[in-house]
């Protein structure tokens, strides 16, 4: 079983494998009691948003993880995957710009995950 930080990094790597852009991991553990990390990433279009979210789910399912909740779909430009300790937001560029989650959570630490 992965700890929540390792799971967040695995999600980010899966998103990168599907060419997601602007992938960030925010540590929100000290600010929220319901989750530890937000992963935020973007796809170039609604098809890529759907592809990224499906690939993340498939990758984590191989490790025994299933989201407890999925909201949105690629057509809406935003998919939320809730893995309890890790919440994934896959946006189209327009939706990410509209919701500006990074701005809302700007006091949270950004986790370095690429090496």
Domains of the chain with bracketed CATH? 4-107 (3.30.460.10)
Over the chain, what is the mean pLDDT? Answer: 94
Residues with pLDDT less than 70, the chain: 115
Burial of residue 5 (number of CB atoms within 10 Å: 0-12, 13-18, 19+) = middle
Alpha carbon of residue 20 to chain centroid: 10
Quote the pLDDT of residue 75: 82
| Whole-number Å distance between alpha carbons of 34 and 37 | 10
- Residue pair 72/79 in contact (Cβ under 8 Å)? The answer is yes
Burial of residue 84 (number of CB atoms within 10 Å: 0-12, 13-18, 19+) = middle
Quote the pLDDT of residue 107: 92
């Amino acid at each position: 079983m992965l700890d929540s930080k390792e799971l967040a990094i695995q999600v980010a790597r899966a998103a990168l494998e599907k060419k997601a852009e602007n992938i960030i991991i925010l540590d929100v553990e000290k600010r929220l009691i319901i989750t530890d990390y937000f992963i935020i990433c973007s796809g170039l279009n609604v098809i890529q948003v759907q592809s990224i979210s499906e690939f993340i789910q498939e990758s984590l399912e191989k490790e025994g993880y299933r989201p407890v909740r999925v909201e949105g779909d690629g057509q809406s430009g935003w998919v939320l995957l809730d893995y309890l300790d890790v919440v994934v937001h896959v946006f189209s560029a327009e939706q990410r710009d509209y919701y500006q989650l990074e701005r809302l959570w700007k006091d949270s630490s950004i986790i370095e995950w690429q090496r």
